């Protein structure tokens, strides 16, 4: 009987011990490897190590999910992954991430704070910030220089070629200088042939898409297109954060085409379609005088290599 009572007592003791929740450490220790990070305007990823002797959690002290995202789980090996998106502003922005123990049974809350700061864009005098990209106010003139006015179409360039072509007008007779020289096939603009001034480059297709998507308007007075969020109200005197691209025409096989009627601006990359065959992307727009269904529209088009177009640069 005593043996049986001892067995029951021992079993009950084991039962109660098994059901008793594990106690938290008397002292909760929590720390993070970095308490402040600065991210460039382009955005980027960052990871921070967490040291904690209990379960922990991380959350914003206010909602900033639209530009800063956090993946914080112990499954990641006690690491917080922070992803910051590209900013479209010249102003810096900041948020804070609170890391604390997550044991609901605890009355003791121990926390640490990570401050995330993203720098704003520094826009030079000759640039305009549109959708997170700094666009030049002026077209390219001779190799490595801008025109003096946004109304000037500047020089025309073949794809991946450093030669600057000029359209001359002698008593109404249009001509091209220097003599036209066909170029070889390539599907990307090489750095040594980049005619933009130092620190600037030819835009990518994605950047041109974003520019068109930001809004545009044809303006007959300066004869060209305004691009940007405030394009509908923009003028040369008050551009309101927009850029103006003049309709300077283009050159095809050494002949001047659609001067003052069409604007064509190079994109950085071509589109290979076979051996020794590449179609080249460019921003295209027509003014109202052309009289077709594409008048006053702006879009990306493709063509072969026998052309020279204008160039509008973006900041590197």
pLDDT digits 0-9 by tens, 99-120? 988 865 656 888 999 999 999 9
**Token duo for residue 77:** 């090996």
Tell me which residue of 247, 252, 230 sits closest to 239, measured CA to CA: 230
Give the span between the Cα atoms of 103 and 18, in whole angstroms: 19
Cα atoms in the 13 Å half-sphere on the side-chain side of 94: 9
303 touches 281 (CB < 8 A): no
Q: Where are the domains of the chain?
A: 28-118, 127-315
Q: What is the mean pLDDT of the chain?
A: 83
pLDDT digits 0-9 by tens, 36-77? 999 999 999 999 999 988 888 888 887 666 899 988 765 556
pLDDT reading at 256 higher than 50: yes
Tell me which residue of 82, 73, 90 sits closest to 44, measured CA to CA: 82
Long-range own/partner contacts, residues 163-172 (CB < 8 A, 24 or more apart): 164/140, 164/195, 165/251, 165/308, 167/248, 167/249, 167/251, 167/256, 167/259
pLDDT digits 0-9 by tens, 130-151? 999 999 999 999 999 999 999 9
Give the span between the Cα atoms of 269 and 245, in whole angstroms: 20
Question: Is the backbone peptide bond immediately before 9 cis, with ω within 30 degrees of 0?
Answer: no
pLDDT reading at 301 higher than 70: yes
pLDDT for position 282: 83
pLDDT reading at 316 higher than 70: yes
269 touches 190 (CB < 8 A): no
Topology at the third CATH level for domain 28-118:
Immunoglobulin-like (2.60.40)
| CA triple 162-166-167, angle to 5 deg | 145
């Amino acid at each position: 009987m005593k043996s049986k009572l001892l067995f029951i007592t021992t079993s009950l003791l084991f039962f109660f011990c098994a059901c008793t929740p594990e106690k938290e450490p008397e002292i909760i220790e929590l720390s993070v490897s970095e308490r402040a990070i600065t991210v460039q305007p382009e955005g980027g990823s960052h990871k921070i190590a967490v040291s904690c002797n209990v379960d922990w959690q991380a959350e914003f002290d206010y909602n900033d999910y639209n530009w800063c995202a956090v993946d914080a789980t112990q499954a990641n090996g006690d690491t917080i992954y922070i992803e910051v998106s590209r900013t479209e502003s010249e102003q810096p922005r900041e948020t804070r991430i609170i890391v604390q123990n997550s044991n609901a049974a605890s009355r003791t809350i121990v926390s640490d704070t990570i401050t995330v700061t993203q720098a704003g864009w520094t826009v030079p005098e000759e640039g305009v910030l549109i959708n997170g990209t700094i666009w030049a106010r002026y077209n390219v003139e001779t190799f490595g220089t801008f025109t003096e006015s946004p109304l000037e179409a500047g020089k025309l360039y073949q794809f991946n070629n450093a030669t600057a072509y000029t359209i001359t007008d002698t008593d109404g007779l249009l001509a091209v200088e220097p003599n036209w020289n066909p170029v070889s096939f390539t599907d990307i603009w090489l750095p040594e042939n980049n005619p933009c001034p130092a620190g600037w480059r030819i835009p990518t297709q994605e950047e041109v898409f974003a520019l068109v998507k930001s809004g545009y308007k044809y303006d007959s007075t300066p004869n060209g297109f305004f691009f940007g969020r405030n394009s509908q109200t923009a003028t040369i005197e008050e551009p309101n954060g927009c850029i103006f691209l003049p309709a300077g025409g283009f050159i095809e096989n050494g002949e001047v085409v659609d001067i003052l009627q069409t604007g064509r601006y190079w994109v950085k990359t071509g589109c290979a379609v076979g051996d020794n065959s590449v179609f080249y992307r460019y921003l295209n727009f027509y003014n109202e005088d052309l009289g077709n269904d594409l008048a006053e529209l702006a879009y990306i088009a493709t063509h072969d290599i026998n052309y020279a177009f204008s160039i509008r640069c973006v900041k590197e």
